[in-house]
Every structure is written in C-alpha cells, then in structure tokens.
Structure 1
Amino acid sequence: MTDLATRRGLETDVYQPAEDSELLADAACSRLPSGGDGGDEDRPLVLEVGTGSGYVAARVAEETEARVIASDLNPHAVGQAADAGLEAVRADLVSPFADGAFDAVLFNPPYLPTDPDNEWDDWMERALSGGEDGRAVVDPFLERVGRVLAPEGVVYLLVSSLAGVEEIVDRAGEEGFSAAAVADESFPFETLTVLELFR
C-alpha cells in the first residue's frame, strides 16, 4: 500500500499526457522515417526532451522503427519513463548528449506565460511555466539543439499561441533553422502547433 501511495504521489510531480502530448506524438509518428532493413545501426535515433510521463517517447518507440531516448530534468519523470520501459536519462535540455547524435529531437516545452514573481518551487510548476513570455525554456533549447542534430536531423517542437509562434519561428531562424507547421489544433484560449525545424 505504501508503494502505491508513493507512486501516486510521484505522478503529481510528473506532467501527464494531455492534448499537447497527443498532437506532438501524432505529428512525430506520421513524419519520422521508418528506418532501414539492416540492424540497429540503421534505426533512426530520436531524443525526446522533457519527456514527462514518457507518453510521446513510448508512442514513437512503438509506432516507428526509431530507437528513442527519453530525457527530463525532473528525476520523478525519468523514473516514470524508465518504469514504462523507456531508455531514460536525467538531463537539462540536450547538455549531456553527443554532437550530431540524433536524427530527430522532440520537445513539448513548458510554455504557459507566468508572473515573474512566481517561484518555480515544484516539479509541476517547472513542467508548465514558460516564464514571462512563455519562451524561457524554448529559447535556450533553440540555442542548443542544433549541436546534437545529425546533418539531416529535424526538430519537432510543440508551441502555443500563448508563447508567440511567430516569435519562436524568428528565434529558430536566428539559430539557422527553417520552420514549417506540420500539425495544429485550436482550443478556446490557444492554438497548439507542431513546428518541424530543419537546416
């Protein structure tokens, strides 16, 4: 009983799948290559940054031929992803990964604009809060992700109209990426868009 109670407590510290998760998973699964007929060396290598529960990474691993690495700064999320059978790594964005390692990087970042006086005092707040403009995590990600992409690699980035899609596309351009919207879904207070970023 203690184990179940503890596990339920941890779930409150981990972002669970929602509409944004499903939109990113659908877009990635429909666009990622299926891989070659050879061994593991022919399989695309995919990184999901900020995996949360591991939902998106698990969908990609199940529905494509990709080998998927799930990463998160939140140790509870890493534990939940590992419990789901994923290769899970605790990481701050892309910092521990090798140059040019990934054929694709997926990210559903924290994007809700938040008052600068708000303290990021728990893991769920960190999973949701995008800073004053909603881009406090997106901008550093865009600065760093190019380093870990293979030459033909792509990024699938979920963005919200609350964080300014045009501003994010412009920022991606400053980092050498072209952007195309490959999926979107509208809700009463925001539109979610999956951007494919490529060089």
Structure 2
Amino acid sequence: MGTPGHSPLLTPPGVYAPQDDTELLMRALVRERVDPSTHVLDLGTGSGVLALRAAGLGARVTAVDIAWRAVLTTRLNALIAHRRVTVRRGDLTAAVRGRTYDLVISNPPYVPSPHARLPRHSPARAWDAGPDGRAFVDRVCDEAPTALRTGGVLLLVHSALCGTPATLRRLADAGFDASVTDRAVIPFGPVLSTRRGWLRHRGLLTDDDNREELVVIRAQHA
C-alpha cells in the first residue's frame, strides 16, 4: 500500500495499515502549525505513516509503539522515505518518560470488543480496546498532560462508538480545552460487521445501523 505523494509504505501482516481513521487524523495534523522547531510524539504509530507526514512537514518526530513489528516497520519506512524519525518501543508515554512535546498525535486501538482481556499477540491487538473501546483512549487522555508542553496540542482519533462525550469530559477534567474538529461516517469494516449483534445487544447500535462515525478531537493543554 502506498500513500499519496509518498514512497510506498510497508505494512506487513500484524501491522495496522492506514485506513479512514488515519486519513482523518492526517488532515487534522497538516492544519497544525508545524515547523522545524516543533517536537511531535506519535503514540501507537503502527506503520509510521503519521510520523512520516509530520517529519515531512519539518517536525522533530518521535514515534512509539508497543509492538516490535510496528517499531521495525516504522524504522524501515522512515529509511525508505528518507525521513528522520526516532522510533521507540514502549507502552504509550512510558517510552518517553520525562520528555515533553508540542504536539501529540494518536490513533490508538478503540474498537469495542466482547473480550475483556486485551489481545497481546494477535492482529486484533491493533484495534481491540475492551468492552467499551476505551482501554487506550482513556490512557492517552490521562497521560497526555505529562507529555505536552504548556500550550501543546493533542490530536486523537477514535470511533463515536466508544463515546465522544466521555473523551471530551475526560480531557476537560485534565485541564484541556477540547473539541471535535473532524468527523467522517464510513461503512462498517469486517471487524464491526462481525460484532454487529453484540454491539446491538450492548445498546451501541440500532437494528438499522451499518455505518460508523469517526471523530478527531483536538485538545490544547492550558
């Protein structure tokens, strides 16, 4: 798979390939004021496509993922694209403890799952996020204040199925000025299609729902 105007992007099995949520977050990213003085942190980088875009805008970029395969893929994609990206393996901000950034971007796992235990070795690790879909969204909201400089910005994408108001409240409680800046409604992909009955049972869908809303939340640190 390639990205428009970029070198071909490697997305081996087990690494999250860029999809509609990636594109939505990318559009939000390019609207930010990014230059060579901007320090960017990409949490849950996957293939590294967002990190590479930020580097292409001139930023100093650090990309983090807990999966070794994603870390190695991002390093290779940065090499192929001739982009300077620091790639670290770790569990969200634990990989960069003590460092702060001007901009944090994140496309974390956010799909509600009937399994309470989070997968550790299967491809579902890239999207499953517990019964309410918030296992990682909440952590990004909670950890962002320690990773952002005063006035810094968090850009976070997730599905409305895991609760947009809950994210806005959590960020507000953490001292952020947060709002939804981008939305997209897309057909269910294979994962949500197989979980439609379970999602209806939980009251997250009606019988007629067959599309999902994605949102990008922009939160500025006071």
TM-score normalized with structure 2 length: 0.77
Q: 1:49 aligns with which of 38, 43, 50?
A: 43
1:98 Cα deviation (Å)? 4.3
Counterpart check, 1:180 vs 2:166: no
Deviation, 1:80, is 0.4
Letter in 2 for 1:93: L
Q: For the structure 1 residues 187 and 87, does the alpha-carbon distance in structure 2 shift closer, same or farther, using more than 3 Å as the test? A: same
Partner of 2:202: none
Residues 37-95 of structure 1, C-alpha deviations (whole Å, 9 max, x = no match): xxxxx610000000000011111211x22111111001100000000123211021101
Picking from 55, 58, 77, the partner of 1:65 is: 58
Task: Answer whether contact 2:41 2:104 (CA < 8 A) is retained.
Answer: yes
The answer to whether 1:196 aligns with 2:197 is: no
Contact 1:100 1:151 (8 Å CA) reproduced:
no
Q: Provide runs of 4+ in structure 1 moved above 6 Å.
A: none
**1:110 match:** 109
**Preserved contact between residue 181 and residue 195 of structure 1 (Cα < 8 Å):** yes
Paired amino acid for 2:64: S
> Which residue in the other structure is 1:4 paired with?
none
Asked if 1:77 corresponds to 2:99, the answer is no
Alignment of 1:25-174 (within 5 A): 25-31=26-32, 33-35=33-35, 43-62=37-56, 64-85=57-78, 86-99=85-98, 101-117=100-116, 120-174=119-173
- Which blocks of at least 5 consecutive residues in structure 2 are unaligned? 1-9, 79-84, 188-210
* TM-score for both structures, normalised by structure 1: 0.85
Residues 89 and 95 in structure 2, CA contact (< 8 A), matched pair in contact too? no
Q: Who is 1:13 aligned against?
A: 14
The 8 Å contact of residues 180 and 216 in structure 2, kept in 1 or not, is answered as: yes
Amino acid at match of 1:145: A
Distance 2:158 2:17 in 1: 17
Q: CA deviation at 1:187?
A: 1.5
Distance 2:42 2:122 in 1: 18
Of the structure 1 ranges 93-102 and 11-20, higher mean CA displacement relative to structure 2 is found in 93-102
- Report the identity percentage: 32
Partner of 1:38: none
In the other structure, the counterpart of 2:24 is 23
Mean CA deviation greater in 97-106 or 148-157? 97-106
Aligned-partner residue type, residue 152 of structure 1: G
**Superposition RMSD on alpha carbons, in Å?**
1.8
Alpha-carbon distance between aligned partners in 2 of 1:73 and 1:123, rounded to the nearest angstrom: 13
SS of equivalent to 1:13: coil
User: What is the DSSP-based 3-state SS (H/G/I as helix, E as strand, rest coil) of the residue aligned with 1:150?
Assistant: strand
Question: C-alpha distance in 1, partners of 2:219/2:122?
Answer: 28
Task: Give the 3 Å change call, closer, same or farther, for CA 183–95 of structure 1 in structure 2.
Answer: same
Could you tell me which residue of structure 1 aligns to residue 5 of structure 2?
none
The residue type equivalent to 1:59 in the other structure is R
2:3 matched residue in structure 1? none
